Amino acid sequence: EGEEDPKEWTEAEVSQMEQSAVLQAIEHTVTPKLVEEDLQTFRGLVQDVFASSSSVFDGDSLLSEAIIEEACKSFHLIPSASLSQKILQLNAVLNNAHGVMLVGPAGSGKSSSMRLLIESLKLAGGVGVELYVINPKAITKEQLFGVLDPTTREWTDGVFTSLVRRFND
């Protein structure tokens, strides 16, 4: 009830919905990966290609700028619109990807952004998040993933595999 029958949509409406879906997919996958300097260029290109559509990165409906602002206060950080956008983007990337690397120079806010996102998610709906940081360069491949003893055929979990087992149990 209350939903339109797709057979009643005009060709222009279908085209607009398709453009909107493509634009949203592009923004959700590309925007979070861009640095501030490249963001304006990207938005200009998107506007040229999708002139009739307009979209602003909206992130996740669970999080809002107000919640992120509250989380900032708990970490004694100064909230800003750009910080909120980055947190929303990080959340979107984590929702769409199996693995994420936060890269940037020391002191650029990588760890703080992750902690801020975790706190924001907790404030938004009591979502429990556990963060485990593993430096794969600090240990061997066998220590990271595990190893099969060739003599006894006994498997020994590595750091990563033991965490995966812990989550699955």
Q: What is the pTM of this model?
A: 0.62
- So what's the pLDDT on residue 140? 94
Better-scored residue on pLDDT, 3 or 136: 136
Pick from 33, 22, 34, 84: nearest CA to 59: 84
Q: Phi, psi (5° rounding) for residue 155?
A: -90, 135
Q: Which of 29-38, 48-57, 78-87, 107-116 has the lowest mean pLDDT?
A: 48-57
Residues 6+ positions from 165 with CB-CB distance below 8 Å: 157
Task: Write down the residue that tokens 């936060």 correspond to.
Answer: 102
